[in-house]
Amino acid sequence: MNLASLLSKDRIILSLKPGKKNKVIEDLVYTIKQGADAELIVSTLLKREELGSTGIGKAIAIPHCRSLAVDKLEIAVGRTTKPIKFNAIDKKPVSLIFLIIAPPQDPGNQYLITLGKIVQIAKELIKKKLIGKAQTPEEFITLIDQVEKGLKKGK
Amino acid sequence: MSTEIVEMHLKLLFDLDNLLNDMDEPAYKKIGFKVEEKEKQSLIKTRTDLLKKLPRATADIYERLKKRYQRAIAPVDNGFCFGCFQRLPIQLLARSEEIITCPNCGRILYWRKK
Cα–Cα nearest to A49, from A36, A67, A62, A38: A62
Please tell me chain A's helix, strand, coil percentages from 3-state DSSP, rounded to the nearest 5.
Answer: 45, 20, 30
Catalytic residue among A64, A65, A95, A101: A64
Please report which confidence band the pLDDT of residue B96 belongs to, taking 50, 70 and 90 as the band edges: low
Measured CB to CB, residues of chain B less than 8 Å from chain A are 8, 11-12, 14-16, 18-19, 22-23, 25, 27-28, 30-36, 39-40, 42-43, 46, 71, 73-75, 77, 82-83, 110, 112-113
ipTM over 0.85: no
Active site residue A48: no
Give the C-alpha distances (Å, rounded to integers) separating A134 from A14, A138, A141. 8, 8, 9
**Mean of the pLDDT values across residues B33-54?**
91
Structural domains of chain A, ranges and CATH numbers in brackets: 3-154 (3.40.930.10)
**φ and ψ at residue B104, rounded to 5 degrees:** -90, -55
Name chain A contacts of B75, Cβ cutoff 8 Å.
68, 71, 103-105
Q: Which residue of A has its CA nearest to B13?
A: A44
CATH number of B3-111: 1.10.287.1490
Q: So what's the pLDDT on residue B95?
A: 63
Question: What residue type is assigned to position B20 of the chain?
Answer: L
Encode pLDDT of A32-59 as tens digits. 999 988 999 999 999 999 999 999 988 9
